[in-house]
Structures are given as C-alpha cells and as structure tokens.
Structure 1
Amino acid sequence: MFKIEGENFVLDGKKVFLNSGEIHYFRIKRELWDQHLAVAKEAGLTTVSTYVPWAWHEPEEGHFDFDGHTSPERDLLGWIKKCQEHGLFCTLKPGPFILAEYRGAGLPDWFLERYIPDVKMHNSKGEPVSSDGVSLFHPAYLEKVQLWYNQIMPLIAAHEYNKGGCVILMQICNEIGVFSWLAHQADYNEETKKRFITYLKEKNSDINYWNKLWKTNYTAFEDILLPPDGKEPYTSVADRGRDYEWTMFWRRYYADYLRILSKMARDLGVSLPFYHNLPGWIYGNGYEFPVNITMYEDLFEDRSDIIFGVDHIPEFMSYRNLHDDRIINDITSAMQGNKPLFAAEFQCGSREYHVVINPAEMELFYKASVANGLTGWNYYMFSQGRNPERKGYSGSTFYWFNPLTPEAEKTSAFPLVQRMSKIIQASENIIVDAKRKAKVGVLFYPPYYATELERPVGESNIVFNFSAIRRGAYFDGLLKALQVLNVDYDMLDLNKSAFNWNKYKQIWVFSTDEMNAPEQQKIVDYIQNSGNIVLYPNMPVREMNGTACTIIRDSIGVKPIGTDAFDSALIDVLGSKDIKCANPQMVFDEKDLKGAEIIAQNIRGKIVGFSKNIGRGTFTHIGTWWGFDTETHKEVYTKLLQLSDAKLHTSNSDNYFVNVRERFTSEGQAMLFVGNYYNEEYSASVTYTHPATGETMKMPLSAEKMEMPNLYAILSPIGLKLNENLQLLHTTSDVLNIEKSGDEWTIQLFGNRDLMGELVLEGDEIFKIDNIYSHDISTQYKILKDKLVVTYSHPHKKEFKLKIIEK
C-alpha cells in the first residue's frame, strides 16, 4: 500500500523518499517507451510521472482514445502496463489544465473553439483576458471537465497500486493561480461576482457592516461593485481594505475549485493521494513563490487531503540564490503543515534553450534540497520530448539538456541523477526522518504575500508597503543573512496557532503598517510569556481590512512620533556604526522610552530602535530595515541574534563563504550539508553536533582545514549505523552503497578530486578492524582518540570502493 502519513510517503509500511522522473509518453515514439523506462530504472528512479493531456486523448468531442487506436502515442493503457513491467511506479496528472508548454494548456481545441471567448477570464471591462486561463466555475467548462473525468478517472482507479497496479499518486489540475499571478489580473466573469457576494454574506450577512468598513452606501449585496483591475491606485484606506477581502475571496475560490475536482475524482473511484503543483521561481530567484502558495491557504492542514508540490526550477545556482530553495521549502512546510515536502517539478533540464544548466550546479542544488528537508522529488524532465504536430507551445522540441534525449540517448546529465539515486538509497532512513533543531523562529505572514491583484498605493496612507520592501527587507535580507550566518531557524506561519511558540528563544517579525488583531495578540502573548521578539520595520496601526488596531503598540506602551528620511541613510545599531538602511525611519522620543534601552539612532541623532522588557519577555524594535548589502549588515544581524540566549548553530564554518546545516533523527543520526555556492575554492573547517552525544565534532578530523571546491557540496550521513557497535561518523565523499559479506565491509564512494577524502568510523568495533584498503586508490588510516580516520584522494569522476576487514 502507498499512502501519506504525516510528513512522509509510506510504501508497504516503510517511509520512503519518492525518487521520480518525468517522462511524457505522448512526446516520445511508442517504440522507444521501453528504452526510456529501462534507462529510468537504470538511473535508480522508483517512479515515473507524466501529464495526461485532455486535448490529446479527446481530439474530437466525445471521441476518446486511451488504447492508441488513433495514434500509438495515445496508448495510455499501454504506457501504464509498461511502467509496471519495468518495475516502476507511476504518477498521473490528468489536468484538466496541464500547462507543460502544451498549446491551450492541455484543453482541447474543439472546446476552445466552441466556448471562446465566453469561457475565458474577463477583465473588469468585460474583455477576454489574453492568457490560457478560463473562468473556472463557468458551467460549460465544469460540464466538459466532468465528462473528461468520467472517462479518465475510472481508468486511473483501475490501475492504482493498492489495487494491483502501479499508479501511486495523482495531480489535481496544475498551477491554477498562475494565470492571475502572471497577468496581475482577476477574472470578472458574472459567476465570480456571485461567488464573491456569497463569500461576503458568509463572513457577515449585514450589508451595513461592509458599508461601514468600506465607506460605501450599498443597499443590497447585489449592488456591490467588484474592485477595479490592478492598475488603478487605491483611493483610501477603506479602498485598500476592500481589496484585502477581494484577495481573501480568491483563496476560497481556488480551494472550492480544487475541492470540486477532488470530489469528482473520488466519486469516480480514485483513492490515490492527491497533490497540486506550486510555481514561483522567476529567472533564477524564488522571491515570488510565497505569492503563489498563499493562494491555496484555504486548503492547508486538515482542510483538504491535497498536498502541495513545489515547482523548483532555479535555472542556476550561485551565491545570488543560495537561500531561495530553503525559504521556499520552509514556507511550504509552515503553511501546509504536517504533510510531505515534495518537489513536483524538480529541475533536470531547461524549458528554454538559452538557459543552459550544468550538472555541477544541479548537484549543488540537489544536495541542498535534501538538506532543506525534501522527502521526494520528480526530475523535470528526465526525458526530452518531441511535441506532436501543432501541439507544442514552444515549437517541436520540449525541454533541453535532460538526462535522456527523445531517442533514449544518455547525456552528461544522466550520471548525476544515477548517483543521487544511490546517495538517497544509502541514507534513505536518515533523510526521511531528519529534522532541523532550531531555537530561533522567523514568522511568515501570508497576507503580506497575498498580492497577486494588488493595486498601486495611491491614497491608502501607507508608510511601509510590504509588497515593495519584502524582497530586500525579508527574503533577500533577513532570511539570506540567517543562511549565510549558518543560523538554525524555523519558519512559522503567523496565521496558525499550532506551533509551540515557547520552543523558540527568539522570534523575528517582519511587520509593516498592517496586521490583523489576532496575530498582533499572539506576538504580545509570546513576549509576555518570556519570549524575545525582534520586530522591524514598523509596529502595526491597523488590520488588513483597514480597521485601526494598535495591540502591539499599546502593549509595549511606545509609539513613534514621526518619520525621518534623508539621502544615503545611515544608522548606528548596538555599537556598529554607519549601517546602510532604508528610508523612512520611524522616530521615537526618548521621553517615551523610560525603562527601555536605546539601541539604534540615525546619523542625525534621532532614535530609531529600542529594546524593552515586557512582562517576562523582551521586545526589540528597529524602526527601519536593511537588506544584506554590506559586510556590516552581517555584523548587525549577529548582534541582534545574540540579544537572546538562543543556540544559533548546530553546525558552523569558520569561513562565511562555506554554508553548512544539519538535520537530526530521533535515532541518534543526522545529515550534514557543507556547500560552497561561489565560483572560487575556499578553505574551511566545519563543526557539527554529534547526533547521539551532543558533542561538537570537526570536519575534517585529520587536518586543520579542507579546500571546498567551487560550486560543490558535501552531503554526509552522520552516525550512520553499520551495526550496533560501528558507525560511520562522517565522510567528505558521497556514500553510494554499503554492504557486508562475512568479515568484510564494502563502502562505495564518490567525490570531487579537488576535495580531500576523509571517512571517519567510531564505535567499539573500530579496534577489531584489521585492514582498510581499496583496489582503486591509495588509502591511509589511523586511530585519533576513539575515532578511526581513513584518508585518501578522490579519483576523477569515478566511483571507488573502500574495503574494511575485521579481525
């Protein structure tokens, strides 16, 4: 049986890492299917994934082909059968939307020709929107989707693994919020207005409530006008507040749509786990991803059985985006709760020919993704494809630089995928259970990213507009700094109450003019209960809907007396001078700060930051923000972190250009990541926490430092148990396999030739080891205290075996 239990995929009672690759059967000649599947198996994949295009299988209305009678590449039944014959599980993604660079996003031509423009998204002027998006609740659309599901869902249900088939997972539609996000455009179809009014009535059925809130004079709900399109500036605080309800409505809209599709599939016999995919990377950066995940807020935790897969397409890896994938993973975990962290589209090739990826950067990304908590991924794409005639959005070719060409020829990307499969398999039990140990928390506030329809500030009386500063102040500022500083932190969804606030010695809050009352109260409660808050750049003055709300200010007993702004703004913070910061700065009167410590002033002598004891806790406020632009920013972040007694690191490096992090299991094992995101070699010594004893350990153990190759990462199991009395403590090599035959252990390894090779064993049985050798390389070994240290040089691009002989 395949199922989801908490944060894990479970196969026949065992937690597994879902190691999948995308192969589109409809983009490959049928006579080559066996070859592609055989190579997927050779690569170590356990699962293959594919879209099932509605347009491909219903080329004419009412005429379905799943057995290939109109085209061999339409034989979906044959594809599923071949997956099972090759010992592979299968994930199916039947839309209705698939996108996937398929013309019409996978909707049939006959449907678009018949119902366009009526079924399309419309702007506020009633004009069709130029995109592939449709009005998701248009009766004609839902009617045809039901007929498509009537055909495809029984087929999927009949081939589920739990019923003797090989299908283990199904995607419900695909990236449905992407059309509004990219176009910055809502759908103003008449059905949308009806649903919006219903949404408002459910929240408050008194029209006078909304009139008072929005400063309007509607006599009935039917009179309500929808907010204007995204280019018209806000006319007032109330106008901005109305848009907040409009934005929250869209979260319900998308949730209701996916619930309808889920119910259709369940009613037709599908019992598989469902997931939906989340986009967000833009040209190598993930700072817009949080916008997309907030669109599905109404489906998270126990509000649906859908899990949300991450679309991880970074395009390149470097110091510029070294933090993005971790933030995306952390926000996904924080919002969706106790569910697996799965990369549904995991870069393995390029959608655009001019974006050339290489295995070295991808290896760094893949290893970091494990360190950042993924418990499953789907290489997108494993196989390159050729589009059926007139079906490709980008012409005849689909994707480039993949492990496999359409003709099933291996490329330079294949060995990495194969090696990552071995790495996962060798340490799978640790990877699927490992968790971060953090005493620092960072709050994520979803309304600050609910901005896909946001309009210009206009007359909305905003000092700090969150959408304008969140990248510099938060995503590329605080969060990047924490990663560069190797600080262990957890991302916490402020809209939830489920996490244990008291677990954290310090919590950081990115806060602007607006924050709802319940969330302000949570922050105050944490402070008064011995918490340590660092809040910047402003204490809120109103709720998201525009209602005045100053719970934090009132509790602290301090409010600013105004703002200051000047060219080339600089402030002094905690003894650090001339810190570059943003305009404006919130200014405070010293008379109002009795009992508080002044910690920040701008260079004009005005107070812009303070720390104050409140109840049993401490409130630290900086009334401006800075990014991560200078070395002194690193210094100031460190000083603010040190205001609490939180343990900041479980692992660390003596070189800030070498990034480290560690995750732990409850069984005394861990995974350690050591990464160099720079295009230059750096020397470093790394420390980490022994997962069983809590001791601080060192890598390398046999030398003072090691040279970390450029754009390279170590991903080492820590405390990997060979048996009860012998553990692999750490290694600078990739562990690919471990076997024992009689008195001989064989450890299969791989490493970078520019990185020293070291493998450390511990446990009582190290004293029973008679010899360590390799037929492939020269080795040396010695006992250092209670550890056995093996050193060697890595051969170039070759796996090698280390033999350990017991007496």
Structure 2
Amino acid sequence: MTATPSAASHAPSVPTLHDDLVLSGEIHYFRLEVSEWEDRLDAALAMGINTVATYIPWIVHELPDGSFDLTGRTRPHLDLGRFLDLCAERGLAVVARPGPFVMAELKHEGLPYSLFRDHPEVVPPSWDGATPDVTVVDYTHPAYLAACRGWYDAVIPLLAARTPSRGGTVVGVQLDNEIGMLPWVTNSPDLSDRTVADLVAWLVAAEGEQAVKERYGLDPADTGAWGPALRSPDDEVVLALHRDLGRFTREKYASYVRHLASWARELGVDVPFLVNIHGCWGGAASMFPLGVSQLYKTWEGDTDVIPGTDYYIGDLTLEKLPGFWASNAFVAATTVPGQPTGSMEFEVGSGDYGESLGVNSGPEAGPLKLQTCLAQGNTLVNYYLLTGGRNPRLFEPVGDGNDRVAFTGERHGFAAPLDPEGRQSPGHARLADATRAAAGQADLLRAARPETPPVTLGFVPDHYMTEYHYPRSERDRRFVAELDRFRGSGPREILTRALAVSGFAPDAVNLQDGPLALPTDRVLALAPTPYLDDEIQERLVAWVLAGGRLLLHGPVPTRDLLDRPATRLADALGLTVADRLDERVGFFPSIVPADDRLEMAEVRGGFVQPLGVPDGADVLARVAGGAGSPGAGEACVVRVAHGAGQVLVVAADIPCLLPVWQRLLAELGAEPLVRQTTSVPGVVVVPTATADGTRVVHTLNPSPWDAEVTLERDGRPLLAEPLRLPARTGAWLVQEPGAAHATLGWIGGTGAAR
C-alpha cells in the first residue's frame, strides 16, 4: 500500500489553477506499466510541462466483488497513490479526473458493468419511448447517485490526502466528464416518467399551474399523461418542449455537479473543481458553444469551478478560426472576474485515431492553437493525449471481441506526441519547442490579460440549445436549421472571421442572463438569428438608447424562441422587415453598394432581406436586381440612429471582404488597438497587457501563406522592421513600459525563444 505523503516531504512549489500558467499533459497511468511511469513523467518535464492530468476510471478500479483496488494489490498499474507520488517528487501538479463518466474510449464511458447489471432503471427512455444504444443515464436518479457516491467514497479521500495543503500536488479535481455529450450527439434526452415529473414541477414553480396547462394542454396534476405526451409531442407544443426541456436540463446538470462537488468537499477536497465541456463536431468548433449552452450553469458565478474546453479540430485554418475563436470567447463570457478558463482536452496528436494514416494535423497545429488559447486568456491547457499506452483486460471477460477496458484494441493513443511505446511522433519537436517557450515566459504570459477590445461578440446560449429536437417534427427540424445557420458567428461564420483577421480580437458577452453590463463605448456585434426573445431585444434597445453601438449581421429577428411575433428591436429602429430572400435554384440574391463607401462590386449572397427604413437612415447597400426582381432597390445594409446610440443592420450575406467589413466597423467608430498591414489576408493580432503596463502582442497566422506583417499602435511601429511570419505559425512581441519598440519573445516555426 502506498503511503500518503506528509507535509514535511512536500515537493517543490507547483502551479495552482488560480494563479499560474498551467501547461499540462494527459498521462493515463492505468494504460502503462508501473516501470514506464517515471519515463513518461520525465518526458513531460523535458517538454516544459508543469502539470499532469489523468482520468481515474471507475471501470478500471472496480473488482468483480464490487470493491475497489486503488493500491495495486491485484494489478500493479492500479496503484494510483504511487503514480501521484511520483508526480509530486518531480514537482508536477496533478489534475485528477475521477468521473464518474470519463469517456477516453472506455467501455460504458468508464462506468462499470455492475451499474447497468444492478440498476437498469438508471437508463431512461427517450423520444417515442426508445432506449438509447449508447451510455445515457439519468444523472440525478437516486440509484445512479448512490452508486456514484460509493465510487467517490473510495477514490476521493486518496486525492484529498494529496492536495497541496497536505503536502501533495493534486491541484484540481474534475467533476464527471463531458456531461450531456452522449444525449446530445444521439438526440436522446432523458424523458423518463421521473424526469418528466421533475420538469413539470419545475415549470409550475416558475410559471404557475395555469400557464403550464395552457402551454401543453395537460393538467399538471395528471402525472400519468405527461410522460407519453412529451416523449411523442404534438407539433403544436414541440417548440415549447424544445425550450423548456433544454432549460430544465441545464439546471439538472448543474444540480448533478453540485452533488458531486458537495461529496468531494465532504470527503476532504480543498482545491478547485473543473467541468469539462464538449462540442466539437466534424473536425471544427463551430458547434462547440452548444456544450457551453448545456453546461454553463454548472460553473456560473463560482470561481472555484473552472470550465475547460475539448478541442478536436486538427489544423487551425482560416476556415476553422471563427468557431475556435468564438468558443473561447463564449466560455469566458459565462465566467466572473477571478474565474480562470482553459482547455481540458487540447488535441495535440496527429489526428490519426484509426491508425489508417488519416492524419489531419501537421506539426504546426499544436503550437498555433496553444498560442491562440493563451492569447485569448486561457491559463490552463491540457495536452490530450500526451502519451499513449495499452488497454488492460477487464477483470472478467464479457465476450465482446477483445475483453479489454476500451474498444480501441490493445494499443491506445497511437496518435499522441509520445506513442504507446514512448517514441516521439514527427510533431513532437515543434510542440516541445512551443511548450518550452511558453514555460520560459510563464509568469509574463499568465499576467498578460487580453486588452479590452473595441468590439464584443454577443452570445445567446438559447441559440445553441439545439441538442434535443423531436425527430418526427418538421417544424422542430426547420427551427434548429435556422438557428444553426445564423447563430454565433453569423452566416458562413463571416462575422467573427472578419473581426478576428481585421485586428479587432473580439471578446464576448452573455446577452441572455441578467442586465447588459457592456460599456457603451464598445461595439456589440451580434448574429441574431430570426429568433430572439423580446426580453433580449429590449435589453439591446435600452443599451443603444443609452449610447451603445450595435452591429447586427443576419436576418432581423421578428420571432421569439416559441415562434411568436417578437419585433421590439425592429419597431424601436423604425424598420419594416420583409420576408428573407434565400438563394435557390434559378435565384441568386445579390447586394449592391449604395455609394462608394463600400469597396465591392455587386456580390451574390446566400440571402438578402429587404428593409423599409425610417427617414434619416443611412443606407450603405441595397438589394440588387432589375425590374421585377424581388426586393430590388430596397435597403439591406443600413445604419439607424436611436437615442444616443446607433445600429448598423447587415441583413445580407456579405462575403468576407475585409475592406468592406473594416469600413462597416469604422461607420460605428470602431478602430483596432493595434493596426496591421499584411502581405496576405488572414493574420490575427491580439494585444494583451500586464498590470504594470508590459504589453504582449500575439500575432497569429492561420493562413496557408507566409506573411510579412507591419504593426503599429498610436501611429508608431511596434517593430523596427516588418515581422516575417510563416504560414500557420505565431509570434509574440513584448514591449516594456516606455520602450519605443517591442522585441520578439518567440516566433513559431523556428523553435527560437528570445
């Protein structure tokens, strides 16, 4: 049995989640021989890693009799305490990830077979009463919670005994993993009678019995009717259910996390918790805010709960930039001052997860994504996976073809920077260079926070509440498709892309919860979708009235999320909103500038929306087309004054023509803090600064072209000569207070830390 370290044997100081730059690597002790542990930990240290993260799988440690081996008495690689102590001896902090869910390609996502054998009732029915064919559970079912408590009783004391206050280096504990991911990707909400009863009670408490009865046509007291009705909803109520179920499930997930957190505190954990967010889809992060929407209530307002992202996007390209950028910004928008953000699964492998040579990441991918996250204010980045390993066999065979704990075969993590045998991948050297460069200036990079940008993105969590939709409802399908097309970064994600590569480096604000506290000296850029509740529209109107400047890109909202009329914004601006004109076979909606301010020819867009405008409105572009063409000559890009502020409505799918977008922003008075002149389009500049006035300017080139970049601030060049930035690399510049020029802190692609 491994001894618990004493305070007297406390390892060298380790990074903390609230105060330091945490550069972490995921090492699965249970997939390695004990004799390999020290080699992999030393390899991590050599890269500049200061923290190790690891899953601690329930399925791996539970024995056939229901007891747990956490000391290696049955198999040496289960000696978790010894692994943690080896980390402490090296001064490596640890982020422990004990689940209950862990995923990691484990069977049942890391939950034990015994749970489903002994408690089949924890698996809920979904749409039309179907049972999901993946590991979906009712997270708050008493039987599930009781089983989870048994696992926590076994594993949490071992972790609590090794926190820094007790001489160890466990600096954080993740609560569960990717909560709600499997119900989302399979469209399998929990619709058990128990959960439906909880949903109805929640609605009645919030709105009253009569309102609930009128909405669904069911008596809240008739408990037997609700389950069948909501599992197979009529079209008249499908959007109400869409909204109510999504909002209720957010609260259910938050309640689940509070259960886990209270147990961990009771069992002695005195370090911060983490919640891991899922959401990448198809090798991009465009849908990632869906996970933020699902889970933000689990960390909302609590600085001791830290949200961490999962990023699986391969190379960071101009195509993928908006989703990646907006996801970081939207996570930060749901936190409070003093609450760190980071990435708990930061993909650094080749992407060849099937050993098919299906590589989707070059050696520049990890360093460029790392710098982008640091530039946007992340203070924790966990390389996933850092090392590969081997999947041990289950204690008892189950006859599933391999009888191992995971479904990937014997070897696991073959795409990692260190493969299962510990050999370095072709991309290892570049990643190690970038990690050591960041580690070498960790204090500076941690202290340098993003400067307040001139433009802020608007985040509406309910626009991403599309994880559940009734599959037999065409109305629900169309509703989800509209939200998916226009939300977040706008049509074709052009809004965020244009802002990021034009030097505006936008942050974000949550528009849905509470008053809009954004200062009126900022431009608020919002992709509204056709559906925006009047409550949010009224907030926007009040903010503009007080002097705010609003940029809308997308259809002017005229409906709320229940598909009822909602025209508060259009009415306040004096706009008459016509039906949207979408492209289709034989029809090519196009936009033409109203004068010479917009440097573009007539351009085709995916849609245009003709607008009737009030007297005095400034029309910048109109619907193109000759006599008889729908909407021809009507305004579609217009600036309207309202009170002390103004709104620029871009109700058209304008291409990512940077001079056009820069002019539109200039019409609202927005100017970048750092001006850039580049030989190719696509360079991103992110100004950050420390409290003492030291500036760190991150310059990122996600384009496929080498770039020559000139940067200036307040009319003075930052560098004495242009910066040459290779394709898909980054650099950071450091300017001390009072210095005339910045110096190169690091430039990617060369491995040079200066």
> Displacement, 1:181?
1.4
What is the count of residue pairs matched by the alignment? 709
> Displacement, 1:642?
1.4
> Displacement, 1:641?
0.8
Contact map agreement 2:24 2:53 (CA 8 A) in 1: yes
| Counterpart residue number, 2:163 | 160
| Counterpart residue number, 1:218 | 219
- Cα distance in 2 between the residues matched to 1:269 and 1:197: 36
Contact map agreement 2:218 2:225 (CA 8 A) in 1: no
Contact map agreement 1:25 1:50 (CA 8 A) in 2: yes
| Counterpart residue number, 1:441 | 456
Contact map agreement 2:589 2:606 (CA 8 A) in 1: yes
Q: CA deviation digits over 1:771-790, x for unaligned, max 9?
A: xxxxxxxxxxxxxxxxxxxx
Larger mean CA deviation between 535-544 and 394-403 belongs to 535-544
Aligned-partner SS, 1:155: helix
- Cα distance in 2 between the residues matched to 1:707 and 1:103: 48
> Displacement, 1:12?
7.6
> Displacement, 1:520?
1.2
Q: CA deviation digits over 1:259-309, x for unaligned, max 9?
A: 111112122222221001112222331001011110013234326842210
Change (3 A) 1:368 1:651: farther
> Displacement, 1:538?
3.5
> Displacement, 1:752?
4.6
Which among 703, 706, 709 is matched to residue 678 of structure 1? 703
Residue identity matched to 2:161 = A
User: Structure 2 regions of 5+ residues with no counterpart?
Assistant: 1-12, 394-403, 625-631
- Cα distance in 2 between the residues matched to 1:463 and 1:56: 39
TM-score, length of structure 1 as denominator length: 0.82
TM-score, length of structure 2 as denominator length: 0.87
Contact map agreement 1:680 1:709 (CA 8 A) in 2: yes
Change (3 A) 1:619 1:408: closer
Contact map agreement 2:388 2:418 (CA 8 A) in 1: yes
Q: CA deviation digits over 1:395-431, x for unaligned, max 9?
A: 1122123232333344444433433333223322332
- Cα distance in 1 between the residues matched to 2:17 and 2:249: 38
- Cα distance in 1 between the residues matched to 2:38 and 2:306: 31
> Displacement, 1:74?
0.6
Contact map agreement 2:179 2:295 (CA 8 A) in 1: no
Aligned-partner SS, 1:368: helix
| Counterpart residue number, 1:239 | 238
> Displacement, 1:672?
1.9
| Counterpart residue number, 1:787 | none
- Cα distance in 1 between the residues matched to 2:453 and 2:228: 42
Which among 17, 20, 23 is matched to residue 24 of structure 2? 20
Contact map agreement 2:364 2:749 (CA 8 A) in 1: no
- Cα distance in 2 between the residues matched to 1:605 and 1:453: 40
Q: CA deviation digits over 1:158-182, x for unaligned, max 9?
A: 1111111121110000001101111
Residue identity matched to 1:568 = F
Aligned-pair identity (%): 23
| Counterpart residue number, 2:189 | 186
| Counterpart residue number, 1:637 | 661
| Counterpart residue number, 1:612 | 640
| Counterpart residue number, 2:8 | none
Residue identity matched to 1:617 = G
Residue correspondence of structure 1 range 465-484 to structure 2 within 5 A: 465-470=482-487, 473-474=490-491, 476-484=493-501
Change (3 A) 1:462 1:147: closer
Which among 33, 36, 44 is matched to residue 37 of structure 2? 33
> Displacement, 1:137?
2.3
Residue identity matched to 1:25 = Y
| Counterpart residue number, 1:588 | 611
| Counterpart residue number, 1:424 | 438
- Cα distance in 1 between the residues matched to 2:575 and 2:637: 11
* Structure 2 residue 225 is the aligned partner of structure 1 residue 205: no
Residue correspondence of structure 1 range 72-221 to structure 2 within 5 A: 72-116=76-120, 118-206=121-209, 208-214=210-216, 216-218=217-219, 220=221
- Cα distance in 2 between the residues matched to 1:605 and 1:487: 32
Contact map agreement 2:191 2:230 (CA 8 A) in 1: no
Contact map agreement 1:309 1:342 (CA 8 A) in 2: yes
Q: CA deviation digits over 1:516-543, x for unaligned, max 9?
A: 2331111011111112222243343343
- Cα distance in 2 between the residues matched to 1:267 and 1:474: 48
Residue identity matched to 1:348 = V
| Counterpart residue number, 2:380 | 376
Contact map agreement 1:213 1:547 (CA 8 A) in 2: no
> Displacement, 1:30?
0.7
- Cα distance in 2 between the residues matched to 1:438 and 1:284: 28
> Displacement, 1:187?
1.6
Aligned-partner SS, 1:288: coil
Which among 42, 65, 68 is matched to residue 69 of structure 2? 65
User: Structure 1 regions of 5+ residues with no counterpart?
Assistant: 1-8, 735-749, 754-796, 803-807
Contact map agreement 1:653 1:659 (CA 8 A) in 2: no
Which among 599, 603, 608 is matched to residue 620 of structure 2? 599
Change (3 A) 1:414 1:455: same
- Cα distance in 2 between the residues matched to 1:235 and 1:126: 17
| Counterpart residue number, 1:54 | 58
| Counterpart residue number, 2:670 | 646
Which among 566, 575, 590 is matched to residue 558 of structure 1? 575
Change (3 A) 1:193 1:588: same
Residue identity matched to 1:523 = L
- Cα distance in 2 between the residues matched to 1:616 and 1:259: 44
Contact map agreement 1:245 1:545 (CA 8 A) in 2: no
Q: CA deviation digits over 1:659-711, x for unaligned, max 9?
A: 322212231212222233233333x232143xxxx563243x14xx4543222
> Displacement, 1:377?
0.8
- Cα distance in 2 between the residues matched to 1:505 and 1:138: 46
| Counterpart residue number, 1:624 | 652
> Displacement, 1:248?
0.8
Residue correspondence of structure 1 range 260-279 to structure 2 within 5 A: 260-279=259-278
Aligned-partner SS, 1:608: strand
- Cα distance in 1 between the residues matched to 2:660 and 2:192: 50
Return structure 1 stretches of 4+ with deviation > 6 angstroms: 227-230, 460-464
- Cα distance in 2 between the residues matched to 1:299 and 1:482: 30
Change (3 A) 1:574 1:666: farther
Change (3 A) 1:695 1:652: same
| Counterpart residue number, 1:758 | none
Aligned-partner SS, 2:742: strand
Change (3 A) 1:135 1:534: same
Change (3 A) 1:268 1:473: same
- Cα distance in 1 between the residues matched to 2:622 and 2:677: 32
| Counterpart residue number, 1:730 | 742
Residue identity matched to 2:207 = N
Higher strand share: 1
Change (3 A) 1:654 1:358: closer
- Cα distance in 1 between the residues matched to 2:79 and 2:392: 14
Aligned-partner SS, 2:531: coil
